[in-house]
Amino acid sequence: MDGATRATKEDNTPAVLVTCLLVLATAVAAAGVLGGLLWMLMAMHAQTVNGVTVLQAGGILLGSLCVAGGLWGFAWLVRHLTSGVQAAPLLPRRPGPCPQEAPPPPADAKTPKLLQANLDELEEVNANLLLTPEQMEMKRRARQAELAERIAAEFDASLAEKDFGAAQKHLEHLSAEVPDFDRRTELADRLAAAREAAQAEDIQTARRRAEDLMAVASFEKALALAEELLAAHPSAPEAIGLLDRVRREQEAFTTEQRGRMYAEVEQFAAAKQWRKAVASGRRLMDAYPQSAEAETVAIQMGTLEDNARLEEVRDLRDRFRDLLERRRYVEAIDIARDLIERFPDTQAASDLKQQMPRLKELASGEPRR
C-alpha cells in the first residue's frame, strides 16, 4: 500500500467514527424514549400510576439522554479536533502534479430526519410528564374530537357520492375509535335516510321501465329488470311486489296467446282451410311446446296434415283443369308433373299419369307463348 492510499484511509477514519457515534447516540436516545413510554404504559395498565412511577420513567429518560448527550458531545469533539488535521506523508514527495483531494463522504440524509423525529418524541414525552392526569385526559379528548371530525368529513364526502359502503365503513371506524362521539347517531340516521331515498328512486325507475317493457310484450327483459332490482334491494317489499307483478302479467299474456293461437287453429279447421290450420298449429307447438293447447294440437296434427295434402291436391287439380280449358297444355303438363311428384299415392296423380301421353301430343302442337 503506498503512502497516498494510507493517508486517505487515515483521513476517512475520523468521519467514520463521528458517524458511528451519532448513530449510537440516536439509538440510545430512542431506546430511552421507548423505555420510558413502556414503563408508563405498564403502570397505567396495572393502575399504579403515581409520583414514583413518573419519576422512574423520567429517570429512564434522563439517563438515556445523558448517555446520548455524552456520545453526541464526543462526536462533536472528534469532528472539531480532526477538521483541520491532515495526515503527514510517510515518504518524501517527488516533484510532480499535486494529487487531487478525495471528495468528502456524503452525509447521511436520514440522520437529520431521524434526529428531528427523536426530538419531537422527547418533546412529547416531556410535555406529558409535566401534565396532571386531568390535563392528560383533556388532551386525549381533544385528539379524539379532532379524529372524529376528520372521519365525519370523510363520511360526508362518501354520502355525497352515494357510496354507502364507504360511508358505512367510516361510521364503523368512528364507532371503534371514538365510541362516545355525540353525533354518531345523527350520522347513522343520515346514512339510513340516504339509503332509503336511493332505494325508493331505484324502485320507481325500475317500475316505470318494467311497465314500458310489458306494454310492448317484452316480458323477458321486464323479468330480468325486476330480478336485478330484487338482488340490489332484497328486503324491499316493493321490489318483491314488482317481480310478482311481472310474473303474473307474463303468465296472463302467455295464457292469452296460447288461447288465441289455439282458437285460430280451430277457426281454420272449421272453415276447412287445412293448410292454414297446420301452419297455425305448428306455430303454437313451437312457441309453447309444454302447454295443454300444444298437446291437443299435436294429437290432431296428423288429421290436419292429411286434409292439408288433399286440399293442395285439389287446388293443383283445379289449376290443371283451368289450364286445359284455356288450351295452355305446356303449363298444364308442368302442374301435372308437380302433382305426380309430390303426391304420387293420390287418385289424381294416377289419373294424370294415364293422361300424360295425350297431353304431350296436345302440347307439341301448341304454339310457344
The pLDDT of residue 242: 92
Query: Do 16 and 124 share a domain, yes or no?
Result: yes
Where residue 131 falls (left for φ over 0; alpha for ψ -120 to 50; beta otherwise) is beta
The pLDDT of residue 7: 46
Q: For a pLDDT cut of 70, what percent of the chain falls above it?
A: 76
Q: What are the helix (H) ranges across 46-132?
A: 51-82, 110-129
Instruction: Choose the most confident range, by mean pLDDT, from 64-78, 263-277, 345-359.
Output: 263-277
Query: Do the domain assignments include residue 109?
Result: no
Query: Do the domain assignments include residue 215?
Result: yes
Query: Do 196 and 304 share a domain, yes or no?
Result: no
DSSP category for residue 86: -
Q: What mean pLDDT do residues 196-200 have? A: 85
Is 70 exceeded by the pLDDT of residue 6? Answer: no
- pLDDT tier at 106, thresholds 50, 70, 90: low
Is 90 exceeded by the pLDDT of residue 247? Answer: yes
3-state secondary structure 338-359: HHHHHCCCCHHHHHHHHHHHHH
User: Which of 37, 107, 28 is closest to 69 using CA atoms?
Assistant: 28
User: Which of 268, 326, 319, 258 is closest to 293 using CA atoms?
Assistant: 258
User: Which of 306, 300, 273, 303 is closest to 284 using CA atoms?
Assistant: 300
- pLDDT tier at 10, thresholds 50, 70, 90: very low
Interaxial angle between packed helices 237-270 and 219-232, expressed in degrees from 0 to 180 and rounded to the nearest 10: 170
Higher pLDDT, 241 or 64: 241
Higher pLDDT, 152 or 221: 221
Is 80 exceeded by the pLDDT of residue 226? Answer: yes
CB-based burial, 104-141: b 16+ in 10 Å, e otherwise:
eeeeeeeeeebeeebeebbeebeebeeeeeeeeeeeee
Please give the angle made by the CA atoms of 359, 364 and 369, to the nearest 5 degrees: 105
Q: Read off the amino acid at residue 9.
A: K
Query: Do 42 and 124 share a domain, yes or no?
Result: yes
All three cell numbers of 198: 336511493
Query: Do the domain assignments include residue 192?
Result: yes
Higher pLDDT, 5 or 351: 351
Instruction: Choose the most confident range, by mean pLDDT, from 69-78, 130-139, 182-191.
Output: 182-191
Query: Do 213 and 313 share a domain, yes or no?
Result: no
Query: Do 276 and 238 share a domain, yes or no?
Result: no
Query: Do the domain assignments include residue 206?
Result: yes
Query: Do the domain assignments include residue 18?
Result: yes
- pLDDT tier at 365, thresholds 50, 70, 90: low
User: Which of 335, 308, 312 is closest to 322 using CA atoms?
Assistant: 335
Query: Do the domain assignments include residue 225?
Result: yes
- What are 310-327's pLDDT values in tens digits? 887 888 887 888 887 788
Cα–Cα distance measured from residue 80 to residue 13, given in angstroms and rounded to the nearest whole number: 14
Is 70 exceeded by the pLDDT of residue 209? Answer: yes
Q: What mean pLDDT do residues 290-303 have? A: 87
Number of domains in the chain: 3
Is 90 exceeded by the pLDDT of residue 119? Answer: no
Cα–Cα distance measured from residue 254 to residue 287, given in angstroms and rounded to the nearest whole number: 10
Query: Do 276 and 251 share a domain, yes or no?
Result: no
Cα–Cα distance measured from residue 72 to residue 18, given in angstroms and rounded to the nearest whole number: 9
All three cell numbers of 27: 439509538
The pLDDT of residue 115: 66
The pLDDT of residue 313: 83
Query: Do 238 and 352 share a domain, yes or no?
Result: no
Higher pLDDT, 347 or 95: 347
Structural domain boundaries enclosing 331:
271-364
Contact of 265 with 291, CB cutoff 8 Å: no
- pLDDT tier at 213, thresholds 50, 70, 90: very high
Query: Do the domain assignments include residue 193?
Result: yes
Query: Do 30 and 123 share a domain, yes or no?
Result: yes
Query: Do 245 and 291 share a domain, yes or no?
Result: no
Query: Do the domain assignments include residue 145?
Result: no
DSSP category for residue 205: H
Higher pLDDT, 289 or 44: 289
> If you average pLDDT over every residue of the chain, what do you get?
77
Boundary residue ending a domain (255, 285, 313): 255
Cα–Cα distance measured from residue 321 to residue 286, given in angstroms and rounded to the nearest whole number: 38
Q: How far is CA 106 from CA 21, 80, 103, in A?
A: 16, 18, 9
Query: Do 172 and 243 share a domain, yes or no?
Result: yes
3-state secondary structure of 94: coil
Query: Do 9 and 123 share a domain, yes or no?
Result: yes
- What are 35-83's pLDDT values in tens digits? 777 767 777 777 676 777 777 767 777 777 787 777 777 776 766 666 6
The pLDDT of residue 34: 77
- What are 141-180's pLDDT values in tens digits? 788 788 888 888 888 888 888 788 888 888 888 888 888 7
Query: Do 172 and 249 share a domain, yes or no?
Result: yes
Report the sign of the C-alpha dihedral through residues 321, 327, 328, 330, in that order: positive
